[in-house]
Amino acid sequence: MKQSNDILNIAKETILLESKTIANLVKLLDNSFSDAVNYILNSNGRVIVTGIGKSANIANKIVATLNSTGTPAIFMHAADAIHGDLGIVQKNDVVICISKSGNTPEIKVLVPLIKNSDNKIIAITGNPDSFLGTNADFLLNSYVEKEACPNNLAPTTSTTAQLVLGDALAVSLLELRGFTSSDFAKYHPGGALGKRLYLRVSDLIKNNQIPKVSAEDKITNVIVEISEKRLGVTAVLNSEEKLVGIITDGDIRRMLSKTTQIENLTAQDIMSSNPKTINVNAMAVDALDTLENNSISQILVTDDNNEYVGVVHLHDIIKEGIF
């Protein structure tokens, strides 16, 4: 059995080799890359990404990245393409063809068929002099000196290079399209990521009760209100229903640690004035930031007229999975 240090050294060598190779891709970038980006940007069609073997797996990932960042893309397996799936490619579509060698039999059959339909080809290949490299309209050089595999056989470094070039394409297109976080949310409505981008304070408080007392209310009423509304806090309003303070269950505990003579105390005697608030239309993630930055568990919510409308509790945010 290998010692732990030996295993870690193998892992470190793999990571260092791949990182050096990726850094070298910067030197291989030329105007063909920017021309390819501009062509996709100005195209009325989709991006079809194809490959075979491990390159097909990378093609699938690039398709997913393009779709999620505003560039419509479809995966087409190179072997299936020459057995009926070539119909995926429509007029004005651009085809990204991925192949380390650029000389596989399927690629040699596929490339002329695509060109015969007047579709442009963007090659991602480690061999610019290959059949694919010399017949492509745009060439993205993904050359790697050696694979991380000790036998220099298993696609490792080469597929990483292909993936990074695909990411570079997607990010370039994203920025040129002016793709914003709001756009991103449209394509990622599910999960924690989507919720961070679209969930608002109004969504968090819609099922919460609205604890409130008047400034003149007795402390016993305050305790009952906090207990019944189960948010650990209550807003304090003046006679005009304007927000003037906040009382938390912590305030109640601190009061009781100092005195048990509470008969004559009112809400205004123990409330914190000028409480922190957040607008009902603010993003939920902004509410989280406010809670964290102020080391508090609840924040009062107001509408556009600064009227008190509810409470956001840290538990509401945790429940939505964006904490």
Q: Give the residue ranges of the annotated binding site for Zn(2+).
A: 77
Q: Are residues 57 and 153 in the same domain?
A: yes
| Residue stretches of the annotated binding site | 77
Query: Rounded to whole angstroms, how far apart are CA atoms 231 and 252?
Result: 14
∠ CA 164-117-44, nearest 5°, is: 60
pLDDT at 198: 76
110 and 226, same domain (yes or no): no
Residue 189 placed within a domain = no
Q: Which domain holds residue 277?
A: 201-319
Contacting residues for 264 by C-beta, under 8 A, at least 6 apart: none
What burial letters (b/e) apply to 90-113, b meaning 16+ CB within 10 Å?
A: eeebbbbbbbbebebebbbebbee
Residue 289: what residue type?
D
- What does pLDDT average to over the chain? 91
What pLDDT shows up at residue 192? 59
Looking at the structure of the chain, the number of domains it has is 2
Q: How confident is the model at residue 38 (pLDDT cuts 50, 70, 90)?
A: very high
Q: What is the pLDDT of residues 263-317, one digit of tens each?
A: 889 999 999 998 999 999 999 889 999 999 999 999 999 999 999 999 999 998 8
Query: Which pLDDT score is estimated for 189?
Result: 59
Q: 187 pLDDT exceeds 80?
A: no
pLDDT tens for 64-86 read 999 988 899 999 999 999 888 99
Q: Which of 239, 240, 213 is nearest to 227 (CA)?
A: 213
Task: Give residue 123's pLDDT band: very low, low, confident or very high (50, 70, 90).
Answer: very high
**135 and 84 share one domain:** yes
Share of the chain above pLDDT 90, in %: 77
CATH number of the domain residue 26 falls in:
3.40.50.10490
234-270 confidence digits (pLDDT tens): 999 999 999 999 999 999 999 988 887 888 899 999 9
190 lies in a domain? no
- Looking at the structure, tell me whether residues 90 and 138 fall in a common domain: yes
pLDDT at 182: 66
